[in-house]
């Protein structure tokens, strides 16, 4: 975050989709949302941004 980079999280439903694990994802999202200027984007969103800004 401090360096202005990209954090990409790939989740596989058969791994994260368990009730016992979903809280970890919820906590991670809440932590990330606690920072300013954070952008949640799809791969397509990032590709469009990179194309428009290169």
For the chain, how many residues are written?
A: 54
**Three-state DSSP state, 43:** helix
Q: What is the pLDDT of residue 30?
A: 97
- DSSP character at residue 36: T
32 and 38 Cβ atoms separated by less than 8 Å: yes
Please write the tens of the pLDDT for every residue from 7-49.
888 888 888 778 888 888 899 999 999 999 899 999 999 999 9
pTM for this one? 0.70
How far apart CA 42 and CA 21 sit, in angstroms, is: 22
**Three-state DSSP state, 41:** coil
* Domain extent listing, the chain: 13-52
Q: What is the pLDDT of residue 29?
A: 94
């Amino acid at each position: 975050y401090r360096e202005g980079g990209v954090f990409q999280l790939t989740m596989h439903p058969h791994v994260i989709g368990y009730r016992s694990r979903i809280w970890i994802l919820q906590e991670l999202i809440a932590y990330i949302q606690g920072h300013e200027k954070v952008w949640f984007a799809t791969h397509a969103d990032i590709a469009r941004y990179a194309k428009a800004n290169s």
